[in-house]
């Protein structure tokens, strides 16, 4: 009798284990992400969060990140056979995406996206294509703030956008403007009048509305958007070059991770191997920066703007501090020019501060 009971107990135990395994296996894997949108500014490095529940290793699993709002079979990022695969990657995302490899053993399949662009706004789907169960994918929306673009090119957009109503209809379909706003825009006289009305709505709208406007602009006015983006890139490059040139002495004294920056420039093919070798063997960071500046001067605007972007990534506080100082100096220079031209732009308290400073200098002298 005991033997029968023992056998029955063993069979029940095995059956329970099988049932437990079948209910907690791959059929119950959930891929979860962030419910609300990820909001970013242009140039940010951001993370699109995605992970497995329950936690489990995905090191030997295929992981796909795609743009569900784009008409393409190519991937934002593809991890396959234990490594990243770039053959099927959307060209615009090359070198800008990465996974957290050390954390994949615990189910973290979040995507890091570097140097966010306005065109990155969209819906990103994270999925495990080999899993057949429901819940093995999730979609996260990324919204990139287009406020700066709209501010820079406001007049260009007012005068050159002709397909105003298709853009307005797109905003209406997504619930970002009301019907009465559409009606007011549609009854405006010219395209310019329509765009002025639309800008009033954009000024009152949030980040999502401005980002959606930019996406619709790319769709309906691709040539215009391309021209404006090119101009914006040229302006940003010139600003970067001006920053590097104007803050040269401060950079020589304050940049600390010179070898790392030089290595990044070497990897991009912007400096020569012998230049990097000389920099890496220099005694102090100041000596390294002096050598690096020789290479920057020879390389011109392309190398200087690349140096600026790398510096911004690794020493953002330094760039912010020096950038603020540069802006203040430019304001002072402009006021001096205004004075020389007969314009008096100073407020009373600024005049008072200036007089106090002059008196202090005279007292010291």
**Tell me: the pLDDT tens digits for 61-102?**
899 999 988 888 999 999 998 899 988 899 999 989 999 999
Q: How confident is the model at residue 324 (pLDDT cuts 50, 70, 90)?
A: low
Identify whether the C-beta of residue 158 lies closer than 8 Å to the C-beta of residue 192. Answer: yes
Residue, of 18 and 147, whose pLDDT is higher: 147
pLDDT, tens digit, 9 for 90 and up, residues 180-209: 999 999 999 899 999 999 999 999 999 999
Tokens 């399949």 correspond to 109
User: Regarding beta strands 137-145 and 38-41, do their DSSP bridges make them parallel or antiparallel, or are they unpaired?
Assistant: parallel
Taken in order 170, 94, 131, 71, is the CA torsion positive or negative?
positive
Boundaries of CATH 2.60.40.10 in the chain?
27-143
Closest CA to 120 of 145, 89, 139: 145
* Three-point CA angle 164, 169, 172, nearest 5°: 130
192 C-beta neighbours (distance < 10 Å), count: 16
Stretch 208-225: mean pLDDT: 96
- Reading phi first (left if > 0) and then psi (alpha if -120 to 50, else beta), residue 67 is in beta
**Peptide bond preceding 54: is omega within 30 degrees of 0, i.e. cis?**
yes
Q: State if pTM tops 0.75.
A: no
User: Is the CATH number of domain 147-220 1.10.533.10?
Assistant: yes
236 C-beta neighbours (distance < 10 Å), count: 15
Q: Which fold has domain 27-143?
A: Immunoglobulin-like (2.60.40)
How confident is the model at residue 115, as a pLDDT? Answer: 86
Identify whether the C-beta of residue 301 lies closer than 8 Å to the C-beta of residue 237. Answer: yes
Boundaries of CATH 1.10.533.10 in the chain?
147-220, 230-314
SS (H, E, C) 164-189: HHHHHHHHHHCCCCCHHHHHHHHCCC
Residue, of 43 and 329, whose pLDDT is higher: 43
Q: Give the contacts of 160 (CB within 8 A, at least 6 positions apart).
A: 221, 224
d(CA 176, CA 222): 22
Q: What is the CATH number of domain 230-314?
A: 1.10.533.10
Stretch 251-264: mean pLDDT: 95
How confident is the model at residue 7, as a pLDDT? Answer: 46
């Amino acid at each position: 009798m005991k033997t029968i009971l023992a056998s029955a107990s063993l069979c029940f135990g095995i059956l329970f284990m099988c049932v437990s395994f079948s209910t907690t296996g791959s059929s119950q894997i959930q891929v979860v992400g962030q419910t609300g949108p990820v909001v970013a500014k242009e140039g940010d490095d951001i993370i699109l969060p995605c992970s497995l529940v329950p936690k489990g290793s995905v090191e030997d699993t295929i992981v796909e990140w795609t743009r569900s709002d784009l008409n393409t079979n190519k991937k934002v990022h593809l991890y396959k056979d234990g490594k990243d695969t770039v053959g099927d990657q959307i060209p615009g995302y090359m070198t800008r995406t990465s996974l957290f490899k050390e954390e994949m053993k615990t189910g973290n399949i979040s995507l890091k996206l570097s140097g966010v662009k306005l065109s990155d706004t969209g819906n990103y789907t994270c999925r495990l294509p080999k899993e057949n169960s429901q819940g093995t994918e999730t979609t996260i929306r990324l919204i990139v703030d287009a406020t700066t673009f709209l501010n820079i090119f406001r007049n260009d957009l007012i005068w050159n956008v002709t397909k105003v109503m298709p853009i307005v209809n797109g905003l209406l379909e997504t619930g970002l403007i009301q019907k009465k706003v559409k009606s007011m825009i549609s009854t405006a006289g010219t395209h310019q009048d329509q765009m002025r009305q639309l800008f009033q709505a954009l000024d009152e709208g949030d980040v999502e509305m401005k980002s959606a406007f930019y996406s619709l602009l790319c769709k309906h006015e691709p040539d215009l958007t391309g021209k404006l983006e090119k101009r914006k890139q040229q302006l940003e490059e010139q600003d970067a070059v001006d920053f590097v040139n104007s803050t040269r002495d401060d950079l020589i004294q304050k940049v600390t991770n010179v070898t790392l920056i030089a290595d990044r420039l070497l990897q991009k093919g912007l400096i020569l191997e012998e230049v990097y070798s000389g920099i890496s063997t220099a005694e102090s960071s100041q000596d390294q920066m002096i050598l690096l500046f020789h290479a920057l001067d020879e390389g011109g605007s392309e190398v200087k703007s690349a140096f600026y972007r790398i510096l911004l990534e690794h020493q953002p506080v330094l760039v912010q501090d020096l950038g603020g100082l540069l802006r203040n100096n430019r304001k002072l220079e402009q006021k001096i020019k205004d004075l020389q031209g007969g314009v008096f732009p100073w407020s009373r308290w600024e005049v008072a501060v200036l007089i106090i400073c002059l008196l202090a200098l005279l007292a010291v002298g």
